[in-house]
Structure 1
Amino acid sequence: MAFLHATAHASAPAIDNAAKKRSLTPYLLLLPGMVWLIGFFVLPIATLASTSTMTRPDGAAVGTYVQSLRFQNYLDAFSA
């Protein structure tokens, strides 16, 4: 009985180490998918949202826009 008791204490750190590795594994497996989602979905949507609130200054050349956070653009688009 003493042998089993001593063995249980000796293997406890090994079990904790394995549990730590096991608890990190799902997150490491999710990492490539999360990078893909951020790179190909979240960043383009953020860029689109940023571009949609820009305005063209008076007298500016074609293609020149300034970030003005003008949310009135949405009302103009839906009311026209």
Structure 2
Amino acid sequence: MNINNRSIALIDVNNFYACQLFYEYKQTYGYRRLSDAINEAGMKSGHYQVRHLMARPVLKARYSKRFKVATDSNHNELISQVL
């Protein structure tokens, strides 16, 4: 495979922009949403290229935890006051 300097520079710009978007979205975007965001911004990047970039230990997506309901609201008792 013949890769010239222009394509290497384009890959570096895409990688930098992908890292910038990843931290802008608070590290919650996976490779699919991140590649879609890059494409919406007008740069070309595929799912596999972003997935390969995110395989580095620096770019690990954080998943938000589900909100757990800690109260039982199926009762007829009074609600306690806010302390």
TM range (shorter): 0.3 to 0.5
Report the TM-score when normalising by structure 2: 0.31
- Counting strand residues as a fraction of each chain, which structure ranks higher? 1
Which is higher, the Rg of structure 1 or of structure 2?
A: 1
* RCO higher in structure (CA 8 A, sep ≥6): 2
Q: TM-score, normalised by structure 1?
A: 0.32
